[in-house]
Amino acid sequence: MSMKTLPSKIDFLETEERWERLWEERGTYRYDWDDETRPRYSIDTPPPYPSGDFHMGNVLNWTYFDIRARYKRMRGYNVHFPQGWDCHGLPTEVAVEKAYKIRRSDLPPDEFRKLCEEWIEQYIAKMKTAVVRLGVSIDWSLEYRTMEPSYMRKVQLSFLQLYEKGFIYKGEHPINYCPRCETAIADAEVERLARTGKLYSVAFGVPGGELIIATTRPEYIPACVAIGVHPDDKRYSRLMRKEATTPLFKKRIPIIAKDDVDTGFGTGAMMICTYGDKVDVVDVARFKLPVIKLIDAKGNMTEAAGKYSGLSVTEARRAIVDDLRAAGLLRDEKPLEQEVGTCWRCDTPIEVVSQLQWFMRTTALTDKVVEKAKEITWYPDWMRYRLIDWATSLDWDWVLSRQRVFATPVPAWYCRRCGEIHLAEPDELPVDPKVTKPKGRCAKCGSSDFEPDRDVMDTWFDSSLTCAIHAGWPDRPDWHKLFPASIHPSGQDIIRTWAYYLMVRHLALFGETAYDSVLINGMVLGSDGRAMHKSLGNFVASPEVFGKHGSDAPRQWAAAGGSTGTDIPFRWEDVEYGRRFMVKLWNACRFASMRLEDYDPSAKTEPELLDRWILSKLERTVRDATKAMEGCDFMNASEAARNFTWHVFCDHYLEAVKHRLYGGGKTKKAAQRTIHYAIKRQLQILAPIIPHLTEEIYSTLYAEGPKDSIHTSRWPDADEALIDPEAERSGDLIIGVIGDIRREKNRLGIPLNRSVAKLTVNVDSEEKLTDLRLGEHDIAETTKAEEIELRRGAGGVDVEGHPGVSFTIETAA
Ligand SMILES: [Zn+2]
Ligand SMILES: [Zn+2]
C-alpha cells in the first residue's frame, strides 16, 4: 500500500467552506434518536435573538458550545446539539414599524405579526450563515423558531400546566413598568444605571411649623401616603403619630415610625409613595397604607395628579418643581449621584406601578433553585454564586404578561357576563384569543360570550423551556432520555435571566433541575480593553475576520484567549498566531506525508530513544489535554496541544529524525511508525478547536472512506505505558544539545546543511555521558558533524537549560 501525500498549497478558506458543505451533506453531526448503544449528551444551545450581526462575542459563545460538543462526540457520546432562534420581541416590532412607516395599531394583529415574521427571517438567515461558517457542529435537522405554531403550542401548554399546578396566577401587584415601551418588565430586565440626578428639599406642613423632606422624585408628592421617620430620631419625636400636609396638594398624611429610615440621608424624614421604588412597596404592605395609582398604562400622570394629570413623568416633575419654587416651598436643590433602575431595552427609567398582570410564582421556588445550583456542576465553579445570589435577591414573582404584539399570546379569555377566567384546552393550542373564540362555555355561569386576553408573554417565557423542548417534550414519550440537559452553555451576563428562568420553569413543571451542568463564557472586550461597542471604534464583526483568516484561526483565539468564564479581549495578533500555527501544522504534516509514502504499518519495528522520547511527551500532552477538556478548560487544552505540536514535535522531533527518514531500513520504519501514530493523535486533540484543517489532513492521511471523519473518531486515551521518564530525561538532553549546536552554526554563519569537521560535547557526569551516547548518531547526523566526540570535560559553548553540558565546533581548515 502507499500513503497519500498532502499538496504543497492549501487555501484555508476554500477548505473550510468545502468541509462545512460536506459535513452537512454527509450528516456527520446528526443525532441518532434510536441509538441505545452510546450514552446521550444534550447541549441546551440557547436560541439567540437574531439581530443580524454576528460579533466576536457570538464567536466566543458558539466556539465554546462547539468545542464541548465535538469533544463529547469524540468521547463516544451521541451528541444532541440543536439550534433554535428566539424570534419574538419588541425590537422586531419597532424595525417593522420603521420599515413600513406604520404603527402596529394600524394593522390587525395577525397581519402585523406576519410582517414581523418575514422581517426576522432575514436576520435568522444572516446569523445561520455565520454559525455555519464558524464550523459549529449543529445538527441542522433540529433547527426551530420560537415563533413557529408548533413551538408556541408548547409554550402555551406549559402555561396551562403551570396554572393547573398553581404556579401561574393573575393579580394586581406592583411591577416594573417601562413608560417608553409601554409594558411591564421583569426584575431581570431592569438595569442599574449610575447617573446624576437632583435632590430637592421640600417643605411639608406639620403642627406648629414645617418639616423639610429631601426627595429625588417630587412628582410623587400627589401619591405620597405617609412620612417615615426613625423612632429614635429625637428631632421628630414630637411629630410621631401626628399628621403632615403635602405641599401643593394639601393632603393630610400620617407620620409613622419606621426603623429602617436612614437618619443621615437628607433630613432623616422620607416620603412613602405608591410607588417611588421597591422599598415603598414593602412599606405600603407593612403599614397597611392606601395605594394611589399615579401613573397610567401609557406612562402618564393619572387623575390623582390633579392639575398635572396627562403629563408624562418628566413633564410632571418639571411642573411640580416650578410650582413648589413659586410657592416658596422648595428650600434647596442640589445634584445627587444616584443609581436608577432602567429598562434594559431603551434605558428609560422604570416606574413601579400596581397593575393587573399574569405572574409566575417563582419566589416560592427560591430554596429549590439554590439547592439545585449547589448540586450541579459549573464551569468555572464560582459562577454558581451568580445564580444563587440572584435567586435569593428576588422578592417579587416573575411578571409574565406583556402589552405587545409579536410574542406568544396568553391563551385566555374572560367571561363577559361574570368575569371568570377561561383558559384554552390543550387541544385548542396554539391559539391567539384575539383571533379565535374558545370552544367551551364559562364554567361558572355557562355564558359563551367572551372577551379575549390581549396580553402576550415575556419572550423569556418562550426561551426558558428549551431543556424540555429539545428533549422532545411533550410529544416524544421517551423525552426523559434527554432531560435534564447535560449542559447549559451561556454568557455570564445572562445567568440571571437564562439560567434562572430555565431552572424555575423546569422545577415548577417537572420538579427536576433543567440541566446537569452550566458552562459560562465571559464577555469579549475590544483590543483597548473596553467592552466592544460600535461607537467606540473597537468593534469587530465576524465577516471581517472570517473573510481574512477563515474560522479555524479565530476559534483558536476564542479557545486560548483566556480562562473559561473570564472576559477576553479580541486581538488580531491571536488570530494571526492561530493562522501561523495552521501553516506550521500543514507544512509538518505535508512533509511527513511525503516521507510516509512507503510506510508499511505491518512492518515490525522497535522505537529508538528519540521515538520513545516524543511518544512519552505526546502521551502526557494527551493526558493534559483530556483533563483540561473534561473540565471545559479550553485555554489549557489548546495551549497543551498547540505547544506540543509546534515547539516539541515540529521544531525538535521532526528535525532530529529527518536523517532517518531520508535513509532506510529499520530506523526509518521506526520513525515512520512514530510519526504516523503521533500525527493522528495530535490532529485528534486539536480537532475540537481546529475542526476544518484537522479534518482535511485526517481525510487524506487516515480516513478509511468518505464517511470516516476525525470528528466521529475516538478521542485518544493517554497510553500510560508509553510514558517513560528515563527516555524523556535522555531525550531532553540530546534535543537540547542538537538545538543549541544548530543555533550556534546559525550564529557562526554556517548553513545548517553544511558539515562541520568535528564536534566535541563535554559533560560533567558519567550519567549524562551515558544519556548522550544514546543519541550520538542523531546528534552527528542532525548537526552534520563529520566527527563527533562525547567526553567528560568542560569548555566551549554552554547548552542552555542543561548545566554542566557544553560543546565546541571545529570547522575544516
Ligand atoms: Zn423600555
Ligand atoms: Zn361567566
pLDDT tens for 284-305 read 888 999 989 998 878 899 999 9
Task: Spell out the long-range contacts of 163-167 with Cβ–Cβ below 8 A and sequence spacing 24 or more.
Answer: 163/423, 165/508, 165/509, 166/361, 167/360, 167/361, 167/364, 167/508
| Rounded CA separation 315/326 (Å) | 17
Pairing assessment for the beta strands 377-379 and 398-399 based on DSSP bridges: unpaired
**Looking at residues 500-524, what average pLDDT do you find?**
97
Judged by its nearest atom, the ligand closest to the C-alpha of residue 438 is 2
Q: How far is the CA of 457 from the centre of ligand 2 (A)?
A: 24
Residue 333 has a CB neighbour count (10 Å cut-off) of 16
At residue 2 the predicted structure's pLDDT band, cuts being 50, 70 and 90, is low
Cβ atoms of 750 and 706 within 8 Å: the answer is: no
Q: How far is the CA of 450 from the centre of ligand 2 (A)?
A: 8
Lowest-confidence pick of 16-20, 180-184, 221-225, 326-330: 180-184
Q: How far is the CA of 566 from the centre of ligand 1 (A)?
A: 29
Q: How far is the CA of 398 from the centre of ligand 2 (A)?
A: 28
Q: How far is the CA of 431 from the centre of ligand 2 (A)?
A: 20
Residues 6+ apart with CB under 8 A from 413: 421, 422, 433, 437, 438, 450, 451, 452, 453
Is the confidence at residue 71, as pLDDT, over 80? Answer: yes
CA 30-32-33 angle, to 5 degrees, is 130
Is the confidence at residue 44, as pLDDT, over 90? Answer: yes
pTM: 0.89
In Å, how far from its chain's centre is CA 170?
Answer: 33
Q: How far is the CA of 676 from the centre of ligand 1 (A)?
A: 61
Judged by its nearest atom, the ligand closest to the C-alpha of residue 180 is 1
At residue 655 the predicted structure's pLDDT band, cuts being 50, 70 and 90, is very high
Is the confidence at residue 178, as pLDDT, over 80? Answer: yes
| Rounded CA separation 472/389 (Å) | 32
Is the confidence at residue 706, as pLDDT, over 90? Answer: no
Is the confidence at residue 472, as pLDDT, over 90? Answer: yes
Burial 527-548 (b: 16+ CB within 10 A, else e): eeeeebeeeeebbbbbeebbee
Q: How far is the CA of 441 from the centre of ligand 2 (A)?
A: 8
The 3-class SS string of 365-397 reads HHHHHHHHHHHCEEECHHHHHHHHHHHHHCCCC
Burial 391-412 (b: 16+ CB within 10 A, else e): beebebbbbbbbebbbbbbbbb
For residue 791, the SS3 value is strand
Residue ranges near ligand 1 (ion) with Cβ within 5 Å? 178, 180-181, 343, 345-346, 348
**Looking at residues 31-51, what average pLDDT do you find?**
95
Burial 695-710 (b: 16+ CB within 10 A, else e): bbbbbbbbbeeeeebb
Q: How far is the CA of 347 from the centre of ligand 1 (A)?
A: 6
Is the confidence at residue 91, as pLDDT, over 60? Answer: yes
Q: Angle at which helices 552-560 and 634-643 pack, to 10 degrees? A: 120
Judged by its nearest atom, the ligand closest to the C-alpha of residue 179 is 1
Q: What is the DSSP code (8-state) at residue 242? A: -
Residue type for position 788: I
Residue type for position 219: E
pLDDT at 531: 78
The 3-class SS string of 732-778 reads HHHHHHHHHHHHHHHHCCCCCCCCEEEEEEEECCHHHHHHHHCCHHH
Residue 200 has a CB neighbour count (10 Å cut-off) of 24
Residue 281 has a CB neighbour count (10 Å cut-off) of 20
Provide the residue count of the chain. Answer: 813
For residue 58, the SS3 value is helix
| Rounded CA separation 641/582 (Å) | 12
Hey, what's the cell of 90? 419588541
pLDDT at 557: 97
The continuous run of DSSP H or E covering 127 comes out as: helix 109-133
**Looking at residues 303-328, what average pLDDT do you find?**
94
Give the tens place of pLDDT for each residue, 238-271: 988 899 999 999 999 999 999 989 988 889 999 9
280 or 73: which carries more pLDDT confidence?
Answer: 73
Using alpha carbons only, how large is the chain's radius of gyration in Å?
35
Judged by its nearest atom, the ligand closest to the C-alpha of residue 181 is 1
Burial 460-479 (b: 16+ CB within 10 A, else e): bbbbbbbbbbbbbbeeeeee
The continuous run of DSSP H or E covering 163 comes out as: helix 149-164
| Rounded CA separation 565/73 (Å) | 23
Q: What is the DSSP code (8-state) at residue 406? A: S
For residue 809, the SS3 value is strand
Q: How far is the CA of 170 from the centre of ligand 2 (A)?
A: 17
**DSSP-assigned beta bridge partners for residue 808:** 760
At residue 485 the predicted structure's pLDDT band, cuts being 50, 70 and 90, is very high
Judged by its nearest atom, the ligand closest to the C-alpha of residue 419 is 2
Hey, what's the cell of 100? 413600513
| Rounded CA separation 67/440 (Å) | 51
| Rounded CA separation 381/554 (Å) | 26
Q: How far is the CA of 424 from the centre of ligand 2 (A)?
A: 15
**Looking at residues 617-641, what average pLDDT do you find?**
98
663 by Cβ neighbours in 10 Å (0-12 / 13-18 / 19+) ranks as exposed
| Rounded CA separation 740/807 (Å) | 9
Judged by its nearest atom, the ligand closest to the C-alpha of residue 449 is 2
Q: How far is the CA of 442 from the centre of ligand 2 (A)?
A: 5
| Rounded CA separation 96/115 (Å) | 7
pLDDT at 812: 72
Judged by its nearest atom, the ligand closest to the C-alpha of residue 89 is 1
Is the confidence at residue 384, as pLDDT, over 90? Answer: yes
pLDDT at 181: 79
At residue 410 the predicted structure's pLDDT band, cuts being 50, 70 and 90, is very high
Q: How far is the CA of 145 from the centre of ligand 1 (A)?
A: 25
**Looking at residues 523-542, what average pLDDT do you find?**
83
Judged by its nearest atom, the ligand closest to the C-alpha of residue 178 is 1
At residue 109 the predicted structure's pLDDT band, cuts being 50, 70 and 90, is confident
Judged by its nearest atom, the ligand closest to the C-alpha of residue 421 is 2
Is the confidence at residue 813, as pLDDT, over 80? Answer: no
pLDDT at 692: 98
Peptide bond preceding 275 in cis form (omega within 30 of 0): yes
| Rounded CA separation 634/639 (Å) | 8
Q: What is the DSSP code (8-state) at residue 46? A: P
Judged by its nearest atom, the ligand closest to the C-alpha of residue 182 is 1
Residue type for position 8: S
Q: Chain-wide mean pLDDT for the chain?
A: 94
| Rounded CA separation 194/196 (Å) | 7
Is the confidence at residue 419, as pLDDT, over 90? Answer: yes
Q: How far is the CA of 401 from the centre of ligand 1 (A)?
A: 15
Is the confidence at residue 275, as pLDDT, over 90? Answer: no
Q: What is the DSSP code (8-state) at residue 408? A: P
pLDDT at 348: 87
At residue 108 the predicted structure's pLDDT band, cuts being 50, 70 and 90, is confident
Q: How far is the CA of 343 from the centre of ligand 1 (A)?
A: 5
Hey, what's the cell of 62? 458558539
**Looking at residues 750-756, what average pLDDT do you find?**
91
pLDDT at 157: 98
